[in-house]
A and B are shown apart, each in its own frame.
Chain A
Amino acid sequence: MPGLTAGLNIGLSGLRASQNALDVVGHNIANVNTTGYSRQIAGLSSNGSLGEGGLFFGMGSTLSTVQGIRDQLLNLQITNSISRQYGAQTRNQALQTASAIFTDDGTSGISYQLNRFFAAVQKLSAQPEDASVRTNLVGTAQSLIETMQTKYQALQAAQQNADTQVSTLVTQVNALTKQIAALNQKLAGEANSTNDNDAMDQRQALADQLAQLVGVQTYIDDKNQMAVTLEGGAAPLVAGVTSFDMVAQKAATSPYFLQVSVRYDTSLPAKDVTSVLSSGELGAQLDVRDRLLAGYEKQLDELAAGIAYNVNVLHSGGYSLDGTQRNLDFFVGTAGTTNHLPSNVQVPPSATPKDDYRGTVLSLAVNSAIAANPSLIAAGGAAAAGDNAVAKAIADLQTKVGVVDTTGAGPAAGSTGPFSTFMASLVNQMGTDTSQWSTTATNQENITSALTNQRSSVSGVDLDTEAANLITFQRGYQASARFLSVISQLTEQLINQFGR
């Protein structure tokens, strides 16, 4: 049978256990609003018992575990969902900005300017002798070009902005992967690393942040090390205690924008992951830059090439006001024209498909000879001042199908049109892209929100629970103290009163 001293020890263990449990409750309460924090549960267990004469006397209690409540699968799902959510949101934001440039009710913008240009051509066909009608045509052609160039430049500025974001995001990604590797290192040095709840929570919070920036897959191995891989297994970012930096730099193969690569094996050249990334902010910015905005620019170039080529072919065969056939192109490029298109533009089918017609919009101008002397406009199909055959043929282009080449078959083998319909379908496409990514963003937001709620339900701190635990452990502490005071009285009885 244990003695009085043993009773004191039992009481003391109760005091300590309750106090430690109160510390855990206090830690939970202190972290009620900490991102990524998982609530911890104080695990009390009874101390071993002392056997004496067939009886076993318990020896009090201790705090044996502090268990973090977390669901690893949920964490994995949340990481994926966050990547997709931020990917969609970033695309949506970029497209909202870009599509605002093209918001148009037909009373301004490219479509309107196209109509004005063709209206001026029709006026020319009615009054080919009239100098003011000719001057007006030059004016409308110039404002059509200016409008197209302004919109094109706005798209380019948005692309440039995405490119700047790419380099910022890469820096942020590198900072996060370094921190994750550092936490891996810390955990690797600990004996029972799976009990280090706070380090693991921090690491998970960093993984969530990383997922916002770039699409990643995380995996925690049997040594409690978090491995981070780019989406699709393109390249590792964190392996054990090592992190691999992403690099954003201009490459020889892509002279326009930054290329993103990861060098994870020093014996190999850095791996280009630019086209692999699709989710997270980084993947979204690359997609916006290289596919969405680039696609709209391509269509504008195709439209400009269609207008320039078709007008030029007709115009160069016409007769100017003085009855001379001058073989002049109406629209020229900065370096003149070759085969009725700006000379600095690669023309399919012989050109590299990637750069078909690229730069047509920005290169385009009204032939300076014509701008200086509008009587050179070739409105006539014959040497007569009143002949309007060419002007009328150009006016017919307004409603002609097959004037825009989108397939790379060559400018003379256009497959779509008319111009105004082509423009409307471009606007439709931008709108559809914007609305699609907006819907995806909302859906992903809902999924992330549901998953986070679920995680919060599993791992979040509930103040009512903590308050109840607080009272429970407080009462435990009070009772243990009371028990100690009883033992103390017994001892006093024994020492001071016994044998008097």
Chain B
Amino acid sequence: MTIRTTNPLDTSQLMLDLQRSKDRLSLYTQQLTSGKRIVNIGDDPGGSAAVLNFQSSINQNKQYMTQIDTATSYLANTEDVASSLETQITRLRQLAQQGLSTTNSTISRQAIASEVDGIFDHVLNLANTQVQGKYIFAGTQTQGFTDALGVFHPPFEDVQGATAPANTITYNGNNTDIVFKVGASANVTTNIPGDTLFFGGAAAGSLGSSTDLFKQIKDLSQALTSGNTTAIKTAYDNLKTIDDHVNNVITQLGGRQSGIDQIKTSLADLNANLQSVQSSVEDVDYASVIKDYTKENVAQQASLATLAKVGSKSLFDYLA
């Protein structure tokens, strides 16, 4: 059976096809010029959402890496101070050993005591170390402490005069850890509270104890001045315990550092993967789009050529 094909029908179908061909060409052109496979979110809704999620994860990971860098700088500074502290403690123990030697006269013991006093000042200075305007051994009291009279106090203060217990100094910080978020579920503590490092534990129980470094230095200095060898021996032994404690802290800091280094490496790897996956979703496959573009272009030209010929002839052309 023949279907009646009438005149307007020919062109309307052709025009519809031609319009669609032009739409597709325009999409390919936009893809090629923007370099993006998804021009409008309607082109690939799932892909659009995936790109957003990938980009979001990438940004979060970058954020964590920045946090790790900041954490590293605090940990490194803390470790530096702990190492110098260790050196000072070693020197103190040498000096104590010299003080124990019976060959030493009172005068030379006093000379040793003055070196010990010098080390005390140095250690106090280390205890009040500031990084980027923050006291790093004050728990969370990183800005020091201003009392009701408006007088400023650094975290560690050697208040001359009567202190209880004897030979102790004042600690104005607290025993709180500062924790950074370095991953979706990873945290790292970036500080060692001053009392933990210098007193061997929370100030409340350790101030003035056998693990209080400042008290031991002051006791040593006093014992050397008075020539009390028993007291020098006690200080010497206590300094050994403190030395072990500081060494522990250094190991602990190193452990934290290597932990976040590993996190950073895996975050960087993850980001490289995410970026390549995102690119495969988001970026245009030039070869395939250019192929499609060429194909569509040929189709469009064929349509145009056909449209120009259609309807040019009818029976009327042959009637006299």
Could you list which residues of chain A lie within 8 angstroms of chain B, going by C-beta atoms? Answer: 32-33, 95-96, 99-100, 102-107, 111-112, 114-115, 118-119, 122-123, 125-127, 129-130, 380, 382, 384-389, 392, 395-396, 398-399, 420-421, 423-425, 427-435, 438, 442, 445, 449, 452-453, 456-458, 460-464, 467-468, 470-471
Report chain B residues within 8 Å CB of A130: 132-133
24 contacts between A and B (CB under 8 A): A33-B8, A96-B40, A100-B40, A103-B41, A106-B51, A106-B52, A106-B56, A107-B55, A111-B52, A126-B70, A384-B142, A384-B176, A386-B138, A386-B178, A399-B60, A420-B53, A420-B56, A427-B52, A431-B42, A434-B42, A461-B7, A464-B315, A467-B314, A467-B319
Among the 9-residue stretches B85-93, B119-127, B179-187, the one with 4 or more Cβ atoms under 8 Å from chain A is: B179-187
Question: Given A463-B315, A467-B314, do A129 and B181 touch, yes or no (CB 8 Å)?
Answer: no
Asked whether any CB of chain A lies closer than 8 Å to the CB of B48, the reply is yes
A386's partner among B40, B63, B139 (CB-CB below 8 A) is: B139
B45's partner among A126, A388, A431 (CB-CB below 8 A) is: A431
Question: Given A386-B141, A425-B49, do A431 and B44 touch, yes or no (CB 8 Å)?
Answer: yes
Would B9 and A453 count as touching, CB distance under 8 A? yes
Task: Give CA–CA (A456, B174) in the complex, Å.
Answer: 90
Would B178 and A434 count as touching, CB distance under 8 A? no
Enumerate the 4 nearest inter-chain pairs by beta-carbon distance, A residue then B residue, closest first.
A106-B55, A431-B45, A386-B142, A434-B42
Nearest Cβ distance between residue A352 and chain B, in whole angstroms?
Answer: 31
Would B53 and A463 count as touching, CB distance under 8 A? no
Nearest Cβ distance between residue A308 and chain B, in whole angstroms?
Answer: 20
Would A129 and B142 count as touching, CB distance under 8 A? yes
- Beyond A125-B181, A386-B142, A424-B50, 9 additional contacts (C-beta under 8 Å) are A106-B56, A111-B52, A112-B59, A115-B63, A119-B59, A387-B176, A425-B49, A435-B42, A460-B6
Report chain B residues within 8 Å CB of A424: 49-50, 52-53, 56
Interface string of B159-203 (1 = CB under 8 A from A): 000000000000000101011110010000000000000000000
Nearest Cβ distance between residue B202 and chain A, in whole angstroms?
Answer: 15
Nearest Cβ distance between residue A147 and chain B, in whole angstroms?
Answer: 14
Report chain B residues within 8 Å CB of A382: 140, 176
Nearest Cβ distance between residue A441 and chain B, in whole angstroms?
Answer: 11
Asked whether any CB of chain A lies closer than 8 Å to the CB of B293, the reply is no
Report chain B residues within 8 Å CB of A449: 12-13, 16
User: Most chain-A CB neighbours within 10 Å: which of B6, B36, B314?
Assistant: B6
List residues 1-40 of chain B with CB under 8 A from any CB of chain A: 3-9, 12-13, 16, 20, 36, 39-40
Nearest Cβ distance between residue A303 and chain B, in whole angstroms?
Answer: 13
Would B141 and A105 count as touching, CB distance under 8 A? no
Question: Given A96-B40, A395-B181, A456-B9, do A421 and B174 touch, yes or no (CB 8 Å)?
Answer: no
Asked whether any CB of chain A lies closer than 8 Å to the CB of B292, the reply is no
Report chain A residues within 8 Å CB of B134: 129, 386
Asked whether any CB of chain A lies closer than 8 Å to the CB of B282, the reply is yes
B36's partner among A105, A429, A462 (CB-CB below 8 A) is: A105
Question: Given A106-B51, A129-B134, A385-B142, do A464 and B42 touch, yes or no (CB 8 Å)?
Answer: no
Question: Given A386-B142, A387-B140, do A462 and B60 touch, yes or no (CB 8 Å)?
Answer: no
Question: Given A126-B71, A386-B139, do A99 and B51 touch, yes or no (CB 8 Å)?
Answer: no
Asked whether any CB of chain A lies closer than 8 Å to the CB of B244, the reply is no
Nearest Cβ distance between residue B59 and chain A, in whole angstroms?
Answer: 4
Asked whether any CB of chain A lies closer than 8 Å to the CB of B43, the reply is yes
Task: Give CA–CA (A104, B54) in the complex, Å.
Answer: 12
Task: Give CA–CA (A442, B42) in the complex, Å.
Answer: 14
Task: Give CA–CA (A115, B4) in the complex, Å.
Answer: 63
Would A126 and B67 count as touching, CB distance under 8 A? yes
Nearest Cβ distance between residue B306 and chain A, in whole angstroms?
Answer: 16
Task: Give CA–CA (A335, B36) in the complex, Å.
Answer: 43
| Beta-carbon nearest neighbor of B143 in chain A | A385
| Beta-carbon nearest neighbor of A104 in chain B | B52
| Beta-carbon nearest neighbor of B57 in chain A | A420
Task: Give CA–CA (A380, B181) in the complex, Å.
Answer: 15
Would B53 and A384 count as touching, CB distance under 8 A? no
Would A434 and B52 count as touching, CB distance under 8 A? no
Report chain A residues within 8 Å CB of B176: 382, 384, 387
Nearest Cβ distance between residue A200 and chain B, in whole angstroms?
Answer: 19
Nearest Cβ distance between residue B102 and chain A, in whole angstroms?
Answer: 49
Task: Give CA–CA (A112, B316) in the complex, Å.
Answer: 67
Task: Give CA–CA (A253, B55) in the complex, Å.
Answer: 43
Nearest Cβ distance between residue B130 and chain A, in whole angstroms?
Answer: 11
Task: Give CA–CA (A423, B9) in the complex, Å.
Answer: 47
Report chain A residues within 8 Å CB of B16: 445, 449
Would A460 and B7 count as touching, CB distance under 8 A? yes
| Beta-carbon nearest neighbor of B53 in chain A | A424
Would A428 and B6 count as touching, CB distance under 8 A? no
Task: Give CA–CA (A434, B40) in the complex, Å.
Answer: 9
Nearest Cβ distance between residue B27 and chain A, in whole angstroms?
Answer: 11
Asked whether any CB of chain A lies closer than 8 Å to the CB of B255, the reply is no
Question: Given A102-B41, A115-B63, do A462 and B52 touch, yes or no (CB 8 Å)?
Answer: no
Question: Given A384-B141, A386-B138, do A438 and B42 touch, yes or no (CB 8 Å)?
Answer: yes
| Beta-carbon nearest neighbor of A391 in chain B | B181
| Beta-carbon nearest neighbor of B5 in chain A | A457
Asked whether any CB of chain A lies closer than 8 Å to the CB of B118, the reply is no
Nearest Cβ distance between residue B145 and chain A, in whole angstroms?
Answer: 9
B42's partner among A95, A104, A421, A423 (CB-CB below 8 A) is: A95
Would B142 and A457 count as touching, CB distance under 8 A? no
Nearest Cβ distance between residue A32 and chain B, in whole angstroms?
Answer: 6
List residues 188-223 of chain B with CB under 8 A from any CB of chain A: none
Task: Give CA–CA (A155, B175) in the complex, Å.
Answer: 52
Report chain B residues within 8 Å CB of A453: 9, 12-13
Report chain B residues within 8 Å CB of A431: 40-46, 48-49
Would A398 and B60 count as touching, CB distance under 8 A? yes
Nearest Cβ distance between residue B128 and chain A, in whole angstroms?
Answer: 14
Nearest Cβ distance between residue A325 and chain B, in whole angstroms?
Answer: 15
Question: Given A457-B3, A461-B7, do A129 and B59 touch, yes or no (CB 8 Å)?
Answer: no
Report chain B residues within 8 Å CB of A398: 60
Question: Given A385-B142, A392-B181, do A428 and B45 touch, yes or no (CB 8 Å)?
Answer: yes
Nearest Cβ distance between residue B40 and chain A, in whole angstroms?
Answer: 6
Question: Given A386-B134, A388-B179, do A115 and B52 touch, yes or no (CB 8 Å)?
Answer: no
